[in-house]
Chains A and B, each alone.
Chain A
Amino acid sequence: MSINEIQDEIIEEFDLFDDWMDRYEYIIDLGKKLPLIDASLKTEERLIKGCQSLVWLNAKQEEDKIIFTADSDAIITKGIIALLVRVLSNQNAKDIAETELYFIDKIGLKEHLSPNRSNGLVSMVKQMKLYGAALK
């Protein structure tokens, strides 16, 4: 699936939820299910320091695609990471670099990608796109 097809799919899934509680319970669930990043990869150079929560991001190149794995110490951040990984991992490097991530706004999680939150997610998305640009 293309990046935009996955984004649209997530938007459709979130349309089913009636209120914020259901949305957050789903995100918390995603956070719990996200495969843990290998402990050996939780190194200082893979760490993105947010003021509020920490994010680790690992990128691996497989032919023209990039595989992302990531982790966070906060579960809601981790749930949003799960969505970002679902959208951007195993995609073409050029597509990653050039994509516009509109799904976050559409599913009502824009506030988590605001610099005010300082949770590491803004820097993480930037870093994912930088990997895309560097490896394309």
Chain B
Amino acid sequence: MTINTLNKNNTIIDFEKIRADFPLLQRDMNGKPIVFLDSGASSQKPQYVIDAMNDYYTNQHANVHRGVYRLSQEATDAFEKSRRLAQHFINAPSEKEVLFVSGTTDGINLVASSYGRKFLKEGDEVLISAMEHHSNIVPWQMACELAGAHLKVIPINDEGELLMEEFDQLLNERTKIVAVNHISNSLGTINPVKEIIEKAHAIGVPVLVDGAQAAPHMKIDVQALDADFYTFSGHKVFGPTGIGILYGKEKWLNAMPPYKGGGDMIETCTFEKTTYNELPHKFEAGTPDIAGVIGLGAAIEYVQQIGHEAIGQHEQELLEYATTELKKIEGIRLIGTAKNKASVISFLLDGSHPYDVGTILDKLGIAVRTGHHCTQPLMKRLGVPGTIRASFAFYNNKEDIDKLVEGVKRAKRMLS
């Protein structure tokens, strides 16, 4: 692999050169060099990932887990190699516990549906938080509706931090599962998931962690967290869209019924009775997104080559710089000021609608997200119609932030 950031000893990262690995960052938007500050929605892809997928379709493609011929075996090997890469990426104890899903949304739906059918009964409670993405709200609402169970919500303070004493009160013998995000997509808050898991486990309640925003920014260790379920999307960790990982403890996955029926997930099938395949295949019905899986494996290799420590350090520098510089603009209000934050910065410009600011930034070649970020209940709690959100990845630099700050100033002049 050639990473444009590594020196001869593969140690020092030159983040200024890293952009050369990402072909999309070389293009223009609205006639200006693109300033891509929406990696929280989806990150860009390094050439290494694009090449891996291209190579798969060019030289390796056959269906997996099915053929006796050599090509199918090669494709299966490449496919399963990605599973082991993902296993090490999150430090899962066993590759049987690492399922390929289409993304975080799919991972949560799988657990809500399968776990819900098996374990949720009338009067039970599912505990989520006030800063969840719709994809960690709606699947649980659906599961609760089916079972006659209730959805309970851990409230937050105005800074965008979970009220842990309220969590203690809400956690009780009716709670059947807790589902929280590791990092808030709208605010960047890093939640104390280890503490949540410890407390839930103390009364025998499992915890699902939505790791969509965490996986690109920090080292994930499902064993250190002792998470029961942990899920993230490939496209946010510099891999392709349509693929993601759901980690689940074997004891839960074995106890849960399959989510989808189809090929590859059966052991034997007759019209009278079907028995199911072992983990992880029990939850992987149908021909999988093989190219996506291989692309995700390549993305994990790429990220690990750089290392989460270097990534985290660079992104924290960007976050601090952006926070300081944006605060200097009169009329800026930061939304989400938790003590523990990842490289997401949500803000409002007094008197201006996020849509208007986003439109002008777009004209300046700056890609940010505006709106409610699929967290309508959170926006309601904070009393804002939405925010402007800039989210950084390791390929961003201070120049990007300078352009953002200039753009916001320009928007302010035009809109006021």
Q: Considering residues A21, A25, A76, which has the most beta carbons from chain B within 10 angstroms of its beta carbon?
A: A76
Residues of chain B within 8 A of A14, CB atoms compared = none
Query: Provided the pairs A73-B385, A77-B355 are in contact, do residues A20 and B363 lie with their beta carbons within 8 angstroms?
Result: yes
Residues of chain A within 8 A of B360, CB atoms compared = 24
* B363 near A76: Cβ-Cβ < 8 Å: no
In the complex, which residues 350-398 of chain B have their Cβ closer than 8 Å to any Cβ of chain A?
352-356, 358-360, 363, 370-372, 385-386
Does any Cβ of A come within 8 Å of B415's Cβ? Answer: yes
Does any Cβ of A come within 8 Å of B1's Cβ? Answer: no
Query: Provided the pairs A21-B414, A28-B414, A52-B371 are in contact, do residues A73 and B363 lie with their beta carbons within 8 angstroms?
Result: no
When chains A and B are docked, how far (Å) is the Cα of A118 from the Cα of B370? Answer: 11
Please, which residue of chain B has its CB at the minimum distance from the CB of A50? B355
When chains A and B are docked, how far (Å) is the Cα of A52 from the Cα of B356? Answer: 10
Interface residue from A28, A53, A112 paired with B415 (Cβ < 8 Å):
A28
Nearest Cβ on chain A to B379's Cβ, whole angstroms: 11
Nearest Cβ on chain B to A17's Cβ, whole angstroms: 13
* A24 near B363: Cβ-Cβ < 8 Å: yes
* A52 near B386: Cβ-Cβ < 8 Å: yes
Interface residue from B30, B356, B385, B386 paired with A76 (Cβ < 8 Å):
B356
Interface residue from A20, A25, A74 paired with B356 (Cβ < 8 Å):
A74
Residues of chain A within 8 A of B414, CB atoms compared = 21, 24-25, 28
* B363 near A53: Cβ-Cβ < 8 Å: no
Please, which residue of chain A has its CB at the minimum distance from the CB of B353? A74
**Lowest 5 A-B CB distances belong to which pairs?**
A74-B353, A74-B355, A52-B355, A53-B355, A76-B356
What are 26 A-B contacts with C-beta separation under 8 Å? A20-B30, A21-B363, A21-B414, A24-B359, A24-B363, A24-B414, A25-B414, A28-B356, A28-B415, A51-B371, A51-B372, A52-B354, A52-B370, A53-B353, A53-B355, A54-B385, A73-B385, A74-B356, A75-B352, A75-B356, A76-B355, A76-B356, A76-B359, A77-B353, A112-B359, A118-B371
